[in-house]
Amino acid sequence: MSKSQKTIIACGGMKAEFERLNPADNGIEMHYMPQNLHRVPDTLRKKLQETIDRVAEDTETIILGYGLCCNGVVGLKAPEQGLIVPKVHDCIALYMGSTEKYRNMFSQNPGTYHLTRNWMDNKKDPLGLVEHEYKRRLGAEDARETMEWEIKNYSHISYINTGTGRTEQYRNRALENARQFNKQFMEISGDDAFFRKIVHGPWDKKNFVHIKPHEISKQEYFLK
Amino acid sequence: MSYDLGKITETLIQGKVDRLTELTQEAIDSNAEPAKILNEGLLPGMDNVGEKWKNGEMFMPEVLRCAKAMSKSMDILRPRLTEGELGSAGTLVIGTVAGDLHDIGKDLVGMMFEGAGYKVINIGIDQPNENFVNAAIEHKPDVLGMSALLTTTMPRMGEVVNSLKEAGIRDQITVMVGGAPVTEEYAQEIGADLYGANASTAVDVTREYFAKAKN
């Protein structure tokens, strides 16, 4: 078997956004990891390292579809060919298209709880979490109250519209979250510019961290 | 009436908010020392919760319930803890840095320090750098604690350390930092004195630090 040119190991949460760019048609191999591993960064790191080590023999370039993600990528050891990682804090910058856009949005409204289609599809929006996780663990009454407490300091709930899937349905779901938890709703236009860069390059140093062969990824690379 | 501190610990671990409030009140009514309720009832419970969270035996919603239960119980105890109890060990000023709205962990740290005999001045969330410096000048705390839950807001902590230097008071204050994305290495890099990996550890490392300083 000949080596593939590029392999992207990405969070499953962004599958729709990557697949829209038809990576397979460009000879790119995609590996999607379970969504939500950022909540258990030690597990994320372990699973990422396993996947990296496994694919390393059969590909020339490995790019991660991850950012710093709660330090989940800190401590990864780059394989023979090195490792390319988007220089972002988390997926929000990827959905928005650039770090600058995320930063501007953040400075205007730091108290924004962002929702994308994947969070809603996987019932990880506040309403979904209450219904499918918190109720089971805490009972109906406490479930709702706990979520209200958890997100009490947020002023806004946003829908980042990446233009994939049934956007009207996602917008309504995000609106319903905002209404029920008494937050202001806003819609943010997604931009696939960063996804394109991950898939097609160039992996410029401004937007990507290049970890040298056999070196360990450090948090500071993402903060500079 | 009697009270059972073991029951308080257990109820806290179960995250039963209303029941814990009742038990705390009952213990007070039975003349239990508020400091004893805190140190022998609540804190061992919270340590256990922290341990279970770290080991993956407890999940976010349960931990949130426990934190809330602890917080409600402390609301009853706090006004009853005498001046001598709160402040005998020192003063802690604590807050969450600018742009960051997370407070559950920070508040827990505050409660742990109250348990350890500190007077805690909680300046709140989303606090501009100058507010930390001003609070440090005003309250002259032994420890200044900063919390950040986002890698985007972490750099504010280093900026505050620099502002303390500029204000000429850096040497008079022990700076502690914490929050999920903060690491020991990062704490050292920005010039903090102490790193609290979690709420209970925060108290432990502070105790060790001052014990060493005395020797």
| Structural domains in chain B plus CATH codes | 5-80 (1.10.1240.10), 90-214 (3.40.50.280)
Decide if A71 and B151 are in contact by the 8 Å CB cutoff: yes
Which amino acid would we find at residue B84? G
Please give, rounded to a whole number of angstroms, the shortest distance from the CA of B63 to a CA of chain A.
Answer: 10
- Model confidence pLDDT, tens digit, residues A90-149: 999 999 999 999 999 998 988 999 999 999 999 999 999 999 999 999 999 899 999 999
Q: What is the pLDDT of residue B84?
A: 67
Closest residue in A to B53 (Cα) is A40
Which amino acid would we find at residue B125? I
Decide if B61 and A219 are in contact by the 8 Å CB cutoff: no
- Model confidence pLDDT, tens digit, residues B36-85: 999 999 999 998 998 888 777 888 899 999 999 999 999 999 989 876 67
Averaged pLDDT, A66-86: 96
Comparing CA positions, the residue from B164, B103, B158 lying closest to residue A223 is: B158
Bridge pairing between strands B118-127 and B143-147? unpaired
In angstroms, the CA B132 to CA A116 distance is 35
Backbone angles phi, psi at B90, to 5 degrees: 145, -170
Mean pLDDT of chain A: 94
Q: Under a CB-based contact definition with an 8 Å cutoff, are residues A210 and A217 in contact?
A: no
Backbone angles phi, psi at B149, to 5 degrees: -105, 0
The length of chain A is 224
For residue B104, the chain A residues in CB contact (below 8 A) are 150
Q: Under a CB-based contact definition with an 8 Å cutoff, are residues A160 and A94 in contact?
A: no
Q: What is the pLDDT of residue A1?
A: 54
Comparing CA positions, the residue from A31, A26, A32 lying closest to residue A13 is: A32
Please give, rounded to a whole number of angstroms, the shortest distance from the CA of A89 to a CA of chain B.
Answer: 6
Averaged pLDDT, A149-170: 95
* DSSP type of residue B144: E
Q: Which two tokens stand for residue A73?
A: 């990528």
Averaged pLDDT, A189-207: 96
Judged against a pLDDT cut of 80, whether residue B135 lies above it is answered with yes
Q: Under a CB-based contact definition with an 8 Å cutoff, are residues A216 and A45 in contact?
A: no
What residues pair up with A156 in beta bridges, in sequence order?
A112, A184
In angstroms, the CA B92 to CA A23 distance is 53
Task: Nearest by CB to A89, from B17, B101, B152: name it.
Answer: B152
Q: What is the pLDDT of residue A187?
A: 97
Averaged pLDDT, B162-190: 95
> String of b and e for B132-164 (b: at least 16 CB within 10 Å)?
bbbbbeeeebbbbbbbbbbbbbbebbbebbebb
